[in-house]
Amino acid sequence: MKYWTAALLGLALTVPSPTTARTKMPLMVEGQTPQQAIEPGNYPYQLFLPKGYLADTAKPYPLLIFLHGSGERGDDVAKVKVHGPPKIADRDPDFPFLTVSPLLGADQDWDVEKLDRLVDHIAKTYRIDPARVYLTGLSRGGHASWRWAIAEPKRFAAVALVAGRGNPGEACRLMDLPVWAFHGDRDDVVVPEGSFNMARAIRACGGRKVRLTIYPDLGHNSWDPAYDDPALYAWLLEHKLPSPQNTNKDKK
């Protein structure tokens, strides 16, 4: 797939690389590889380095974090690649995002503090553009993405939530964050009101950066059409944080 190439044109890559010639670099392989947890109790994950990452040592990359749903939980990190961005990255070496896809253990739910530590580690270890950090998740991962974005709205340049639900009472924290929610209108696992209510609540607070896509005659699996749509990735790349130095936690 080359459909995101145009979206990359014209993006000013002025952020300096976080690494130097004197910095000891970890062993890196382009493409997607399984990685051990960065610390005991954290998540193993799939890491995707785009084609050309090793050749251009000055270019920072947008970071995309993907949180899977309940069906992929367990101890097989390969299952993370069944859906969403890691599935696409596995078949397209030109996928333009450095992509991190952690694996949730059986019967667990996503822990934002653990995810924070993982992403902080990635940002220190790889050439990440701090102004272009994006978050997406489906179903259980969609719920967690709403929670994480609400907890730290200044950390992400944009978020995409698929078949998830959030807390409308906290939606005003997202009024300045670009948000795109996707849902099937026949979803009886996570009812579409989960997305409707969040979009309405954000708009009621004066937010004008929220989008909502409802797929007609579709059940819970709204992630296939959402993640197969080139428009999603082009939309993500349109957004940058105005002050990346302020992407630290915002839990006030």
For the segment 162-178, what is each residue's pLDDT rounded down to a tens digit?
999 999 999 999 999 99
Q: Which of 6-20, 21-35, 139-153 is the most confident on average?
A: 139-153
pTM surpassing 0.85?
A: yes
* Section 91-100 average pLDDT: 96
φ/ψ of 244, rounded to 5, equals: -60, -20
Cβ neighbours of residue 235 under 8 Å, at least 6 residues apart? Answer: 158, 160, 178, 180, 211
* Section 46-75 average pLDDT: 96
pLDDT of residue 244: 60
Q: How far is CA 122 from CA 46, 219, 227, in A?
A: 12, 35, 23
Res 24 pLDDT > 60: no
Q: Whole-angstrom Cα distance, residue 170 to residue 154? A: 15
Q: Kindly report, residue by residue over 174-200, the tens digit of the pLDDT.
A: 999 999 999 999 999 999 999 999 999
Q: Which two tokens stand for residue 248?
A: 């630290």
Q: Which two tokens stand for residue 74?
A: 């367990």
Kindly tell me the sign of the dihedral angle through the C-alpha atoms of 11, 12, 13, 15: negative
3-state SS, residue 112: helix
pLDDT of residue 245: 47
pLDDT of residue 229: 96
Which of the listed CATH numbers 3.30.365.10, 3.40.50.1820, 2.60.40.10, 3.40.1190.20 matches domain 31-245?
Answer: 3.40.50.1820
CB 217 within 8 A of CB 120: no
